[in-house]
């Protein structure tokens, strides 16, 4: 049986509706994960939940221990990962409140521990990352978004930047020129670490602001928090549909 793990990002440090049976405080060879892993029932299905930035939200994107997070989820029994990410919209279709299920990613991060395959190896290991997201999970997210009547795009390129600052307008021009449709700070190395652990992984991205230069207004945390508040309820409903499909 598939055991889904949900990784909650900004605005989803708690999974409302999760009936918690167990809180797991785990240690891994890579240190401690961002928070305890919660095991419980959601939408009538067993799930694991992890707050990517901790609970309360306190760990910035470049300080998240992604290796410990993914390792601990697999250790707890996860066999598939559904990641929720708050992002900025670059493509004109990616307005505030729009959902995207990306099919590709471009990594602009630096200095993050991004692989399990680096020390005490018997042989050098390379993983195929041509298609970073699991297509079966992607299709289930797309079907759930359609069933919920959400505005969404079933494909898109996620540009992952270092953070924690937001991007400059010139950087967003470069991202757009590179083919990115959305921009966030947490998509990598999370996706590739899941691949190294052979865990199917897909992303549900909620656009919470126009990327820099895509609006004449300043980007404020108040506006972002309002968009998160309006969108995360829909995200929870979508996740529920995926689990029961």
CATH number at residue 37: 3.40.50.1580
- Is residue 172 in some structural domain? yes
The pLDDT score that the predictor gives to residue 75 is: 96
- Is residue 124 in some structural domain? no
Ligand-binding annotation for 29, yes or no, is: no
Q: What is the pTM of this model?
A: 0.93
- Is residue 77 in some structural domain? yes
The pLDDT score that the predictor gives to residue 67 is: 98
- Cα distances (Å, whole numbers) of residue 61 to 45, 109, 140, 202, 241: 29, 10, 27, 18, 28
Ligand-binding annotation for 1, yes or no, is: no
| The two three-digit tokens of residue 20, written as one number | 């918690």
- Is residue 86 in some structural domain? yes
Domain that holds residue 99: 4-117+131-244
- Is residue 161 in some structural domain? yes
- Is residue 24 in some structural domain? yes
Please give the tally of structural domains in the chain. Answer: 1
Ligand-binding annotation for 80, yes or no, is: no
d(CA 22, CA 159): 35
- Is residue 125 in some structural domain? no
Ligand-binding annotation for 60, yes or no, is: no
Q: 172 near 156, Cβ under 8 Å?
A: no
State the helix-helix crossing angle for 221-244 and 135-148, rounded to 10 degrees: 110
Ligand-binding annotation for 69, yes or no, is: no
d(CA 167, CA 213): 9
Ligand-binding annotation for 10, yes or no, is: yes
The pLDDT score that the predictor gives to residue 11 is: 66
- Is residue 122 in some structural domain? no
Please report, in tens digits, the pLDDT of each residue of the chain (245 residues total). 788 999 987 767 667 778 899 999 999 999 999 999 999 998 888 999 999 999 888 899 999 999 999 999 999 999 999 999 999 999 999 999 999 999 999 999 999 999 998 887 778 789 999 999 999 999 999 999 999 999 999 999 999 999 999 999 999 999 999 999 999 999 999 999 999 999 999 999 999 999 999 987 777 778 888 888 888 889 999 999 999 87
The pLDDT score that the predictor gives to residue 125 is: 85
Ligand-binding annotation for 209, yes or no, is: yes
Ligand-binding annotation for 221, yes or no, is: no
Element (H, E) at 65: none
């Amino acid at each position: 049986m598939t055991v889904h793990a949900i990784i909650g990002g900004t605005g989803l440090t708690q999974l409302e509706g999760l009936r918690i049976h167990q809180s797991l405080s785990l240690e891994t060879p890579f240190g401690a994960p961002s928070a305890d892993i919660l095991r419980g029932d959601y939408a009538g299905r067993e799930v694991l939940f992890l707050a990517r930035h901790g609970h309360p939200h306190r760990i910035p994107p470049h300080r998240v221990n992604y290796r410990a997070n993914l390792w601990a989820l697999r250790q707890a029994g996860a066999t598939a990962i559904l990641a929720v990410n708050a992002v900025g919209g670059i493509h004109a279709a990616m307005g505030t409140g729009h959902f995207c299920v990306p099919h590709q990613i471009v990594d602009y991060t630096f200095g993050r521990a991004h692989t399990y395959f680096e020390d005490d190896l018997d042989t050098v290991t390379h993983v195929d990352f041509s298609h970073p997201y699991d297509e079966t999970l992607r299709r289930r997210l797309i079907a759930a978004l359609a069933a919920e009547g959400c505005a969404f795009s079933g494909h898109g390129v996620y540009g992952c930047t270092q953070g924690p600052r937001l991007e400059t307008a010139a950087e967003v021009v470069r991202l757009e020129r590179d083919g990115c449709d959305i921009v966030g700070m947490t998509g990598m190395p999370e996706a590739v670490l899941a691949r190294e652990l052979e865990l199917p992984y897909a992303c549900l991205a909620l656009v919470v602001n126009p990327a820099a230069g895509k609006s004449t207004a300043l980007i404020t945390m108040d506006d972002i928090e309002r968009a998160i508040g309006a969108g995360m309820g829909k995200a929870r409903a979508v996740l529920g549909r995926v689990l029961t499909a």
